[in-house]
Amino acid sequence: MADAVMRCLHTSKIPHLGVSLLAKRAGRPSNLPGRQLFVHCTCQIRKRALTTAITPSSLHHSKHSSRTYASTAPTLPRPPPRASRVPPPPPPIGIAARQPKTSNSNSNNGLPRTRTPDRASSGRSFQIYFWGVSLFGFVLSAYLSSLYVTYKREVRESAMLDLAPNADVSSRWLDLSRNFDDEVDMSEKLMSLRAKRRNLCQQAQGNVLEVSAGTGRNMDLYNLDPINTPRNRRIKSLVFNDQSEIMVYQAQKRFESLQEETDAIAKFRGPVRFIVGDAGDKRIINRPEGGFDTIIQTMGLCSMSSPVGFLRRLGELCRQPGERSTGLDVNLVRADSQEKRNDSGASAEAHETAAGDELDSDKGGKILLLEHGRSNVGFINKYLDNIAKRHADRYGCWWNKDIEQIVLDSGLVVESKKRYHFGTTYEYVLRPRGGLEKDASERKPS
């Protein structure tokens, strides 16, 4: 045996690998120097050869080489074919009950089950995803293309119109064949303007005037129920005004229809008037005694030829600071404002100052505006300017007016201001500045 190993080591092209294998089989470390490792392995092999009988079958000769190799490891039997394998015996009942069931085991032979990917289903999912994305991209591109084509056509038509900027276009609302509500319904829903209208109308109290009322889109948003509405928020009288006689007629029919659908106990019992004409004209709306406690305008300045003068006229019609109201109990309003100050946690000194100064606690009536105009984004203003003529000719509305500048020029006191939709929608709460000198035309005849 030792001679065979020596011949194997001398004739092998990789003696170091052979020595390492022999050292491993001998159970000794292979970190010795080369010469000492070789001597050590040889001694171990000789000892094993003396104690173990070497059979001829342990020597294996290669068919393609004359070299002789010796193997000291026992020969392992070949595994039987796959079909003839016998499944292992089942474990005892107690052990089987404790082992978790796995979905990977094969019920036939106990071997792990190999899952093959379902190529057909994955292919169908990819096709659905691909065609869905393609269809969405096609629809989006077609929509954007139509918008671009429409914009270009509107620009060309706007350039050909002979219409001066801010010209009077109120005559567009005199067309009997048009349904004004249907033309604005979709845009108002997309911009959630209904909620903003409701927010303004819920603040109305006392003697209320709504200018640019249109077809009465705000009528069902007022607190007209005298039973469920607090005394300091009740409405005493209503006046609806618009330049279009057709719209005023539709608004009157809508109000009557709403009152018919309301229970008798919840119907509005105050006076209601419908006036046709330009509210900016002092001859159209007479100022009641004590003025109007609330004036509401929604989407009306865009149609005015003189919006600054119109707002100044609203300031004159509004109840002035410190003026006695005929439609509202000012003491209740003061108590309500005082309660709000207490809830907000203001200081006691501020409470005493507010209670002692009557003018500060009563700032007069409110002018509530909800308008649309120029944006605070440059490219949106460019878009509005390019087709402003075409829009005004079709809808009777100049949608590129600078509402903020108009309010500043009117001289009214800005109590609060909010802007929405990239700055194109304005929400104002205004107060009269005071010091109103009544004209002779507003005084009662002797």
The stretches of 297-377 forming alpha helices (DSSP H) are 307-317, 330-344, 348-356, 358-361
* Per-residue pLDDT at 59: 43
Which carries the bigger pLDDT value, residue 438 or residue 214? 214
**Residue 388: C-alpha distances to residues 154, 301, 394 (Å):** 9, 15, 10
* Per-residue pLDDT at 122: 77
pTM: 0.66
Q: What proportion of the chain, given as a percentage, has pLDDT over 70?
A: 64
- 327/166 Cα distance (integer angstroms): 37
Structure tokens, 9: 């080591």
Contacts of 371 (CB under 8 A, 6+ apart): 297, 298, 299, 300, 301, 302, 403, 425, 426, 428
Beta bridge partners of 118: none
* Per-residue pLDDT at 86: 57
Task: Give the Cβ contact number of residue 377 at 10 Å.
Answer: 12
Structure tokens, 218: 């705000």
Contacts of 435 (CB under 8 A, 6+ apart): 320
Average pLDDT, the chain: 78
Average pLDDT over residues 195-213: 95
Q: Write the pLDDT tens digit of every residue in 122-181.
A: 778 888 888 999 999 999 999 889 888 888 888 888 888 888 888 888 778 777 777 888
Residues 304-342 as b/e (b if ≥16 CB within 10 A, e otherwise) read beebbebbbbbbbbbbbbebebebbebeebbeeeeeebe
Say if residue 211's pLDDT is above 70.
yes
Say if residue 352's pLDDT is above 70.
no
Using 50, 70 and 90 to split pLDDT, how confident is the model at 340?
A: low
Q: Write the pLDDT tens digit of every residue in 82-110.
A: 555 556 666 655 544 455 554 444 445 55
Q: Is 312 helix (H, G, I), strand (E, B) or coil?
A: helix
* Per-residue pLDDT at 147: 85
* Per-residue pLDDT at 417: 96
* Per-residue pLDDT at 109: 52
Contacts of 342 (CB under 8 A, 6+ apart): 351
Q: Is 392 helix (H, G, I), strand (E, B) or coil?
A: helix
The class of domain 173-442 in CATH terms is alpha beta
Name the E strands within 87-224: 206-211
* Per-residue pLDDT at 365: 94
Using 50, 70 and 90 to split pLDDT, how confident is the model at 359?
A: very low
Which carries the bigger pLDDT value, residue 362 or residue 240? 240
Q: Is residue 315 within 8 Å of residue 433, measured between CB atoms?
A: yes
Region at 127 (left for phi over 0; alpha for psi -120 to 50; beta for the rest): alpha
Average pLDDT over residues 402-422: 95
Average pLDDT over residues 245-268: 93
**Residue 174: C-alpha distances to residues 35, 67, 170, 386 (Å):** 117, 115, 8, 26
Using 50, 70 and 90 to split pLDDT, how confident is the model at 405?
A: very high
Closest CA to 399 of 223, 184, 115, 130: 184
Question: Which of 149-158, 252-261, 341-350 is predicted with the least confidence, judged by mean pLDDT?
Answer: 341-350
Region at 234 (left for phi over 0; alpha for psi -120 to 50; beta for the rest): beta
* Per-residue pLDDT at 60: 45
Q: What residue spans in the chain does CATH classification 3.40.50.150 cover?
A: 173-442
Say if residue 15's pLDDT is above 80.
no
Q: Which helix (H) or strand (E) holds 89?
A: none
Closest CA to 428 of 404, 398, 400, 410: 404
Question: Which of 256-260, 349-353, 411-415 is predicted with the least confidence, judged by mean pLDDT?
Answer: 349-353
Q: Which helix (H) or strand (E) holds 304?
A: none
Task: Give the Cβ contact number of residue 201 at 10 Å.
Answer: 22
Which carries the bigger pLDDT value, residue 24 or residue 413? 413
Q: Write the pLDDT tens digit of every residue in 28-41.
A: 454 555 556 556 66
* CA trace torsion 353, 357, 358, 361 (10° rounding): -40
Structure tokens, 351: 């409470």
